[in-house]
Amino acid sequence: MKILATRLKDLREGRRIYQREMAEMLGLSMRGYQSYETNTSEPKLETLVFLADYFNVSVDYLLGRTDVPGMRKKSSREKQD
């Protein structure tokens, strides 16, 4: 997904983090992480969730399903349903 690659790169650069640092956080080789940003491979679900949490965005934002980056917390009323 090109949108995922673009958003990962933009988020990482926005935090001024090197690809090597991201790779280390994810337990990947630098080449492995670079493949996400060059759209030659896609992360596993658990990695996507980690990335969304790390950058404080939703998985939907990373995948291009929404253009709203912020995560919305469920209200106590929604949790009961």
Phi, psi dihedral angles at 72 (to 5 degrees) = -105, 120
pTM to 2 decimals?
0.83
Q: Which of 57, 47, 58, 59 is closest to 22 using CA atoms?
A: 47
Q: Cβ atoms within 10 A of the Cβ of 55, count?
A: 20
pLDDT tens-digit profile of 44-75?
999 999 999 999 999 999 999 999 887 665 54
Residue 70 pLDDT: 78
